[in-house]
Structures are given as structure tokens and as C-alpha cells.
Amino acid sequence: MALAGTVSDLAFAPGAYAGVLLAIIGLGLLIGAWVGHARFLIVIGLLLLPFAWGASLIDMPIRGEWGSQVFTPSAATEIRDAYHVAGGRLVLDLTRIETDGDPVTVSATVAMGELRVLVPDGATVEMDASVGAGTLRLLDGAFDNGTDLDDHLVVGSGSPDFILDLDAGLGAIRVDSRITEGR
């Protein structure tokens, strides 16, 4: 699967790798039930179960950099089409950007780790945020943790200054302004 994904445009979700491993072990257990002497595969299968469960929560391809990434654009023209971190922390500080009436759209994903976005005080923000497993804290002060978290929220009045599309597989998403940052 890894080779096929490297040499072609195929993309496999992380859960697919664990699923294939469990299917091979399960097939080995079935064959071992008739032929015998394959009981050690039960232990291997049980050890793989937590990893398969964790990988099933990540519904996005693991792409991007590893480690801590901090971006502080000073103008809307400096914003990338998308920000991706495979594992680690992604911080987007949008507090220096002044909008001119057109909304600034930001798309960011973190497969495993933390995604943090800072927006200017008083900005109208429209957010779509989803977390496979972890925590979600948006500008309104609401806090949620668990699995399969999704939220659509508009904070402020008038047309949006910022449109945020945020996704995290395993980890946390937090959106703050300087006023709400310490809460």
C-alpha cells in the first residue's frame, strides 16, 4: 500500500494500513484454526487493536511537516492555500491581517497534534472545525472533548472577516483572539 501510494495518485487513510494488518492476522488465525499452531497471532492481533482504533479516528491523509510550525502572515496575500502538519503543533497568528471587506479564507489540518488559530479582536469569524478524537475550543468559549467532534460557528456580526476550515485527526483545535487567549 505504501509503495502504491508513492508511485501513483492513490491515497490510503491511516486506518487502512492497520485494517490490512488485522485482516492478514485474522486470516492467519482462520488458517491456524484448521492447521494449528498459530495461537501466538491472537496476542499480536490484540496488541494491534489500539493502534487500529487510533488510526481509524484520523480521516485525513497524513501530510505536511512534522514538529512545531508557526505562521504569522502580515497581509491576506501571504496566506497559503492550505496549511498541513502531519504531527506536532500548528499555530496561525492572523492578528496582523486587516481585512478590506473580502473574507480571508484559511484552511488548516493537523493529523496528530494541536492546531491553534489567533484572530484579531472584534473580527467576525465563520468556522468549520472537526476533530477525530481530542478537544475543540472555539471563540465562543465552548469546550468539547471526545471523538467525532464537529462544529460550525459564526462569531461576530456582519459579513465574515475570516472563514476558517480546520481539521484535526487526533489532538486539539483552539481558536482565540487576544481577549479570549488566556481563558
Indicate the domain borders of the chain.
2-56, 65-177
Q: How far is residue 172's CA from residue 174's CA, in Å, rounded to a whole number?
A: 7
Give residue 180's pLDDT: 60
At a CB cut-off of 8 Å and minimum separation 6, what does 163 contact? 103, 104, 105, 106, 125, 126, 127
- Reading the block at residue 5, the C-alpha cell is 501510494
pLDDT reading at 90 higher than 70:
yes
pLDDT in tens, 12-49: 766 677 778 778 877 877 777 667 776 676 777 778 77
Mean of pLDDT over the chain: 82
pLDDT in tens, 130-166: 998 899 998 877 788 888 888 888 888 878 889 999 9
Average pLDDT over residues 41-64: 70
Kindly report the pTM of this predicted structure.
0.70
Where residue 58 falls among pLDDT bands split at 50, 70, 90?
Answer: low
User: How deeply is 94 buried, as exposed, middle or buried, from its count of CB atoms within 10 A (0-12, 13-18, 19+)?
Assistant: buried
Q: How far is residue 129's CA from residue 127's CA, in Å, rounded to a whole number?
A: 6
Q: Which helix (H) or strand (E) holds 65?
A: strand 65-71
